[in-house]
Amino acid sequence: MASLDTGGDDGHKKGPGVKKAKKLSTRVDMTPMVDLGFLLITFFIFTATMSNPTTMDLNMPKDTDKKDEETKIKQSGSLSIILANDNKIFYYEGEMDPTGANFKSATYKDIRDEIIRKKKEVISHYVQDPACEQEAKAKGKSIDDCKQKDFFVVIKPTDDATYKNVVDILDEMTINKVARYALVKPFPTELDAVKLSGGGAAATPATPPAK
């Protein structure tokens, strides 16, 4: 509230024939504004939508030496992507040919096209699976996850790859809606193929333990 303070002057004459004007000062009471501020804060707290944290599902292979406990994927639906130095990418489908005939290089734009092409190829061979589709519906997921259940992207960053390379390829998984993918270490034969293609250092053989 605002109030007027007239001061202590009663307006008596000062000098013959002259009347002094009254001095008025304005004072604003801010107490109601404090209450209003707390009301607005409370209103926004209860009406605002809090941002939900977003997470990314990432499949990691089982750390085991037993063949029967390893993560199984179909070779016909697998796409291996190897991240090398200088933003270089190499990839191959299924199992790597001993001669390296199916070992190819690509840019990030090219690899997106390859991911889309391979995904469409796997979906085109999909055989209806009622159990998978029912489970997907029960979990509120799309049946597209069932259609691409045999599609698996194996991401293999080398020691020469940067964190940005890994993040960029994971973004490609999200952009292209790849349901199943994993991060694993590249095999020595893959590292040798990368070196021969000009994308990094050769694999160093393991040093046998001292006797």
Residue 13: is its pLDDT beyond 60? no
Contacts for 83 with CB less than 8 Å, ≥ 6 apart: 89, 155, 156, 157, 158, 161, 165, 166, 169
Domain ranges of the chain: 78-198
pLDDT at 204: 45
pLDDT 10s digits, 81-139 = 999 998 899 999 988 988 888 999 998 889 999 999 999 998 888 888 888 888 878 87
pLDDT at 62: 59
Token code pair at residue 53: 């944290």
DSSP state of 211: -
Identify the band that residue 156 occupies on the pLDDT scale cut at 50, 70 and 90.
very high
pLDDT of res. 169? 93
Sign of CA dihedral 133, 134, 136, 141: positive
Is the pTM higher than 0.85? The answer reads no
Whether residue 2 has pLDDT greater than 90: no
pLDDT at residue 202, as a whole number = 46
Question: How much is the pLDDT for 166?
Answer: 92
Confidence grade of residue 40 (pLDDT, cut at 50, 70, 90): confident
pLDDT (mean) for 49-57 = 63
* Number of Cβ within a 10 Å radius of residue 9: 11
Ranked by mean pLDDT, the top range of 3-7, 26-30, 75-79 is: 75-79
pLDDT exceeds 70 at position 20: no
Residue with more model confidence, 39 or 9: 39
pLDDT of residue 10: 52
Per-residue confidence (pLDDT) for residue 157, from 0 to 100: 93
Query: Per-residue pLDDT averaged across 22-32, rounded?
Result: 73
Is pLDDT larger for residue 73 or for residue 87?
A: 87
Structure tokens at 118: 């391979």
Q: What is the pLDDT of residue 132?
A: 84
Task: Give the helix ranges, DSSP H, for 48-162.
Answer: 108-124, 130-138, 144-147
